[in-house]
Structures are given as structure tokens and as C-alpha cells.
Amino acid sequence: MCKISRWIPVVAGFPLTACTSTEWVHPNKSSSEYTNDDNKCETAAPSDPKLQQGNQFLLTNAAERCVQKEGWRLIEQ
């Protein structure tokens, strides 16, 4: 019984973590400009010879790194 009572706060906290949202923010650009930068990065990622095998996970990571190089940061709200 003691082991179960230790896990109750952990299990009870799971629904709270699912309610957080994230947003890309930039110190000098408005949120509407994110779409332009994101589209540019999504288009550029498949042109990298290392990513031409089409692995969606690698393409997504490359696009996110590109967006971060543009100065955007993903934050939780």
C-alpha cells in the first residue's frame, strides 16, 4: 500500500502536463512572420543531401533547427 501512495502525486500530475501549449517566439519579429520563416525552412530541408532519403523525423528536426537559426525559440505557455 505504501508503494501505491507514492505514485499518486505523479499520476495525478500527468493531466496537467498535457494542458500546456507551446509557441514559437522571436525577439524582433511578429508571430505572423513565423509562417514565412517556417515555410522557407520546410522547403530548404529536403534539399540537404543528407536528408534526401525522406525520413520525416530527420526533415522535421532539420526544419526546426533552421527556424531556430532564424532566431525563433519554442516556449511553453
Return the residue matching grid coordinates 500500500. Answer: 1
Is residue 1 predicted with pLDDT exceeding 70? no
Grid cell listed for 4: 501505491
In the chain, what are the domain boundaries? 21-76
Task: Give the whole-angstrom CA distance, residue 8 versus residue 18.
Answer: 17
**Residue range 2-28, pLDDT digits in tens:** 555 555 555 555 555 567 899 999 999
Give the pLDDT of residue 70. 95
**Residue range 60-74, pLDDT digits in tens:** 999 999 999 999 999
Give the pLDDT of residue 68. 96
| Beta bridge partners of residue 76, listed in sequence order | 22
Residue whose C-alpha is closest to residue 68's, from 32, 30, 27:
27
Task: Give the whole-angstrom CA distance, residue 31 versus residue 62.
Answer: 21
Give the pLDDT of residue 77. 82
